[in-house]
Chain A
Amino acid sequence: MAERIADFRKLGFDAVAVAMSRPDAIARYLAERPLPFPLLADPERAAYAAFQLKRTTVLRLLRPDIGWRYMKSVLRGGKIRRVPEGEDPLQTGGDFLVADGKLLWEYTTPDPTDRPTVDRLLQVIRDLAND
Chain B
Amino acid sequence: MTVGDPIPDVNLAQPDGLIVSLSSILRGPTLLIFLRHLA
Chain A residues with CB below 8 A from B5, complex form: 102-103
Contact in complex: B13, A14 (CB < 8 Å): no
Closest to A1 in B: B33
> Which of these, B1, B23, B25, contacts A40 with CB under 8 Å?
B25
Closest Cβ of chain B to A124, distance in Å, is: 9
Does A6 sit within 8 A of B, measured CB to CB? no
Does A70 sit within 8 A of B, measured CB to CB? no
Contact flag A47-B10 (CB < 8 Å), given A26-B15, A99-B28: yes
Interface residues on B, range: 20 to 34
Chain A at the B interface: SS class: mixed
Closest to A88 in B: B36
Contact flag A40-B35 (CB < 8 Å), given A103-B3, A103-B4, A105-B3: no
CA distance A112 to B28 in the complex (A): 28
* Chain B 1-39 residues near chain A, CB threshold 8 A: 1-8, 10-17, 20, 22-23, 25-39
Contact in complex: A99, B29 (CB < 8 Å): yes
Interchain residue pairs with CB less than 8 A apart (22): A13-B30, A15-B30, A15-B32, A16-B33, A17-B33, A17-B35, A18-B33, A23-B13, A23-B15, A29-B38, A38-B14, A41-B13, A47-B12, A47-B22, A47-B34, A50-B8, A51-B8, A53-B34, A93-B33, A93-B35, A95-B32, A97-B31
Digit string of A39-60 for contact with B (CB within 8 Å is 1, else 0)? 1111100111011110000000
